[in-house]
């Protein structure tokens, strides 16, 4: 059973891609009719998608003349990452405060073990980057869910679609596996440290570590991958 690929979702991810990879640059007008024709659908799903993208903050309304991608300079990206760090920091704090259930602890340990396995052999191969990508998302998502505060996920919803700002947007240099090894291992170690703080019930520490963890994403980035899939 492949994806029947509902037109609406299709348009949404298509536009996200185009904005992310620069097919549509800030300043370019996005009008409904040309976009609809280009994608081979009616204006309706395009309208829906543009409204959604506006809510996500990826585009801004251009008066009555359509939309345009939001300009994302370095400061804006840093700001988005900062917001993510603060929100995920809150999640970590909450989890440390309330303590992990047995099931959550087991899940988290299993996820971290995946990470251990990636680095166990001392170097990375191509497929490991994909593995880390999934491991990373799993770790972050689990903490947010375990926080028991759905508003955190809601508030993150906007930022998670911004390029570079999502935990799913890894800063990966596919040509420098050696350098990435240390970079990603550091991230993994930080995950472990957060986990330790949570187990110790040290909420302040857990929050601070999580914030710092997000902050490093601001510094080291050269390439990125977008999260295409919907939640």
Q: Report CA dihedral (223, 110, 87, 173) to the nearest 10 degrees.
A: -10
Q: Which residues fall within 8 angstroms of residue 141, CB to CB, at 6 or more apart? A: 167
3-state secondary structure of 217: helix
Please report, as residue ranges, which positions from 94 to 113 form the binding site for its own copies (by CB under 8 A): none
DSSP state, 103?
H
Contact string 152-181 vs its own copies (x = CB under 8 A)? x-xxxxxx--x--x----------------
5 binds DNA (CB under 7 A): no
In the complex, minimum distance from the CB of residue 118 to its own copies, in angstroms, rounded to a whole number? 30
In the complex, minimum distance from the CB of residue 89 to its own copies, in angstroms, rounded to a whole number? 8
Answer for which of 44, 106, 113, 117 binds DNA (CB under 7 A) is: 44
Answer for which of 31, 138, 145, 193 binds DNA (CB under 7 A) is: 31
Answer for which of 13, 28, 32, 155 binds DNA (CB under 7 A) is: 32
26 binds, among its own copies, DNA, none (CB under 5 to 8 A by kind): none
Report the DSSP beta bridge partners of residue 68. 60
47 binds DNA (CB under 7 A): yes
The CB density around residue 164, as the number of other CB atoms within 10 Å, is: 21
Residue with tokens 């291992």: 185
Check residue 163 and give left, alpha or beta (phi > 0: left; psi -120 to 50: alpha): beta
Which alpha helices (DSSP H) does 57-176 contain, by range?
A: 74-98, 102-120, 126-146, 150-159
Contact string 32-71 vs its own copies (x = CB under 8 A)? ----------------x--xx--x-x--------------
76 binds, among DNA, its own copies, none (CB under 5 to 8 A by kind): its own copies
């Amino acid at each position: 059973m492949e994806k029947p690929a509902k037109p609406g979702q299709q348009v949404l991810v298509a536009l996200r891609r185009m904005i992310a990879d620069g097919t549509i640059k800030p300043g370019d007008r996005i009008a409904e009719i040309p976009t609809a024709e280009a994608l081979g659908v009616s204006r309706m799903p395009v309208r829906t998608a543009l409204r959604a993208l506006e809510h996500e903050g990826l585009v801004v309304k251009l008066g009555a003349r359509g939309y345009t991608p939001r300009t994302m300079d370095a400061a804006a990206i840093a700001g988005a990452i900062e917001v993510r760090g603060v929100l995920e920091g809150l999640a970590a704090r909450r989890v440390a405060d309330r303590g992990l259930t047995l099931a959550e602890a087991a899940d988290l340990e299993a996820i971290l073990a995946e990470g251990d396995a990636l680095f166990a052999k001392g170097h990375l191969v191509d497929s490991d980057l994909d593995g880390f990508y999934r491991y990373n998302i799993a770790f972050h998502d689990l903490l947010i869910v375990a926080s028991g505060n759905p508003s955190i996920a809601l508030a993150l919803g906007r930022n998670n679609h911004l390029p570079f700002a999502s935990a799913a947007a890894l800063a990966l240099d596919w040509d420098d596996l050696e350098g990435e090894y240390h970079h990603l291992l550091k991230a993994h170690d930080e995950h472990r440290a957060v986990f330790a703080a949570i187990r110790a019930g040290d909420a302040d520490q857990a929050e601070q570590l999580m914030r710092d963890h997000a902050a490093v994403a601001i510094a080291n980035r050269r390439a990125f991958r977008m999260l295409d899939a919907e939640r």
